Amino acid sequence: MDLENHNLPPDTFLVGLGVSPGISIGEVFLLNRARRTLVEHHVAAEQVPAEVARFQRALEDSRQQLQKVKKRVSAPHLRDHLYIIDTHIMILGDEMLIGDTVGLIEQQQLNAESALKRTLNKFREFFDAIEDEYLRDRRSDIDSVGERLMRNLLGERQKSLGEIERKAIVVAHQLSPADTMQMDRDKVIGFVTDVGGRTSHTAILGRSLEIPAVVGLENISSLVSPGMPVILDGTAGTVILNPSPETFKEYLAKKQAFEYLEKELQAYRDLPAETLDGFSVTLRGNVELLQEVPGVLAHGGAGVGLFRSEFLFFNRSRPPAEEEQYALYRELAQKMIPEPVTIRTLDVGGDKFVPEINLAEEANPAMGLRAVRFSLRERRLFKEQLRAILRASAFGRVRIMFPMISGVAELRECKALLDEVRGELRAESVPFDEEIEVGIMIEIPSAALVADLLAREVDFFSVGTNDLIQYCLAVDRGNEHVAYLYEPLHPAILRALKMISDAGRNAEIKVGMCGEMAAEPLYSLILLGLGFNELSMNASYIPRVKRVIRQVRKEEGETLVAHLLTFATAKDIARFVEEEMARRFPELFGPPSI
Ligand code: PEP
Ligand code: MG
């Protein structure tokens, strides 16, 4: 590789968002779809029909191109993602997209490109104002479709990733899922984009193809030139342009270490998650989309510990009907047999926005009409979801989980409604699992405080640490100004976790965790010591957590927890845990060797 002849200074270091882990070292393949500046202009009245026709033709061309992409995809792991292309084809038929653009051409006599640009900007403003990360990332779907339409309008040739002849790292302003699907894993060894978020479809595809990726680099596509040497660290979210020979060597060693660790972790896939003294922990996957199921299986997950059903309600104009929910839950359950899937009922409200569900503006949405509070008010919607879940339970192992339960009365209300639905299904002779397990998320401090009372009335607990920490410490989980106070190892959190697990154990129910804390191997020994026996996480973390579990004794975790509970501050606890884990697992938590 030519390490010298490019204009940028050596080791130009850029920081973005790592969305697919791993290190790639290679040369830039620039997917040069330069950001163009369009000058708005008007057309004569008699030209208006021709302008509308030009726009219609661009719509049709785009539709046909996407159909072609769909036909060419044959790899089974990609077929699961074809729905994204369907979504894009659907966007091409969107009434607002077409209606507004044609309206601007007709009423303001704008040329088609300018009219399309204005319509797309309106869509973008709408999406950018959304706080929820997943929903905001859906803007990338509009951007992809808009870009394709614009290229077709301008008569630009669609450069395809199929044109790559040798291994390269793709750099682009933006990649559409259609681009990503055309990536040949032997040629595209990584990708980097100016825009994008963690949950954009392109990022999800990158993870599922296991191609290292960094997004959100803002202007990398205008900094690089084709063939420029580049290093991409998808774990750290960094990119180095024009690496010096020393940096090159350093990252080669890091890459080898990463690949070695991945291979080693593969070996854990089929091994039980059991401590040296025989304590068994069930490790499951957190899933938002059906498409993530193969990843759970590939990483040895024992079913789904958290299915965030609200994702089914996002990005659409009306809530899914019972039939649609049933079909999806059923497929999920069937794909996971013999392991269970834990379907969490709708957790909307707060910052989780669903357009068709017109929630009133709330001054304090995190403490507002969220999750089961909302479901218990919108009973028809709630019952439809419960019916769909129960019906799916006849086809696999399904568990129901209620989010944001604050106390026994609220739980009883949910269970009463569930009983009502059960009665209706029995009366209609619709089969369902009579023994279906019913559990709750423990993520509100009041639930932790009355965990002993709640434990008598459910089959399992699953601690949602993302919310539990936010509510216990009064620290908004998404607010960067108070992020320094978001401390999972705060003594109050450890006490709350102990209280919950003790209550669960005394009542002989399963005590799990599905918040992000469960995915952090640094905490695995603590969670073992606290007695958690079900941990659910993004599937790619399962092997790392399992590796720690298999090398320790539960007893050691108990001793550690007893000691940690004597500290007064989160900093002291964190320091002790870091040192202890680095001593036990120098290769995982020790200082970097290079
Ligand atoms: C949690 O709060 O920890 C959790 C798993 O739920 P969510 O992140 O969806 O609020
Ligand atoms: Mg939560």
For 289, the 3-state DSSP assignment is coil
- Mutation pick for ligand 1 pocket among 311, 441, 467, 541 (CB with most ligand atoms within 8 Å): 467
Element containing residue 465 per DSSP (H, E): helix 465-473
Q: How far apart are CA 515 and CA 533, in angstroms?
A: 14
Q: How far is the CA of 22 from the centre of ligand 2 (A)?
A: 29
- Mutation pick for ligand 1 pocket among 370, 405, 441 (CB with most ligand atoms within 8 Å): 441
Q: How far is the CA of 465 from the centre of ligand 1 (A)?
A: 7
Element containing residue 380 per DSSP (H, E): helix 379-392
Q: How far apart are CA 393 and CA 397, in angstroms?
A: 6
Show the tokens assigned to 575: 């320091």
Closest residue CA from atom 3 of ligand 1: 464
pLDDT in tens, 361-395: 788 888 988 899 999 999 999 999 999 999 999 99
Q: How far is the CA of 410 from the centre of ligand 1 (A)?
A: 19
Neighbours of ion ligand 2 (CB under 5 A): 443, 464, 467
Q: How far is the CA of 441 from the centre of ligand 2 (A)?
A: 8
Q: How far apart are CA 540 and CA 204, in angstroms?
A: 12
Q: How far is the CA of 226 from the centre of ligand 1 (A)?
A: 42
Phi, then psi, of 529 in degrees rounded to 5: -60, -35
Q: How far apart are CA 399 and CA 332, in angstroms?
A: 12
Under DSSP, the state recorded for 366 is G
* pTM, to two decimals: 0.69
Q: Which residue has the higher pLDDT, 552 or 357?
A: 552
Closest ligand 1 atom to 467 CA: 2
- pLDDT exceeds cutoff 60 at 3: no
Q: Is 201 a catalytic residue?
A: yes
Highest mean predicted confidence (pLDDT) among 56-70, 166-180, 445-459: 445-459
pLDDT in tens, 140-154: 788 888 888 888 888
Closest ligand 1 atom to 306 CA: 5
- pLDDT exceeds cutoff 80 at 182: no
Q: How far apart are CA 519 and CA 156, in angstroms?
A: 45
What confidence category does residue 594 fall into, taking pLDDT thresholds of 50, 70 and 90? very low
88, 299, 414, 514: which is the annotated catalytic residue? 514
Q: Is 514 a catalytic residue?
A: yes
pLDDT in tens, 41-96: 888 898 899 899 999 999 998 998 888 877 776 666 566 667 778 888 888 998 88
Distance of CA 374 to the CA centre of its chain: 23
pLDDT in tens, 278-325: 999 999 999 887 878 988 999 999 999 999 898 788 656 678 999 999
Closest ligand 1 atom to 516 CA: 3
- Mutation pick for ligand 1 pocket among 347, 476, 493, 497 (CB with most ligand atoms within 8 Å): 347
201, 299, 414, 472: which is the annotated catalytic residue? 201
Q: How far apart are CA 147 and CA 250, in angstroms?
A: 38
Q: How far is the CA of 476 from the centre of ligand 2 (A)?
A: 12
In terms of Cα–Cα distance, which of 576, 483, 594, 444 is closest to 522?
576
Question: Average pLDDT of the chain?
Answer: 88
Lining residues, ligand 1, CB within 6 Å: 306, 308, 347, 443, 464-467, 514-515
pLDDT in tens, 405-419: 999 999 999 999 999
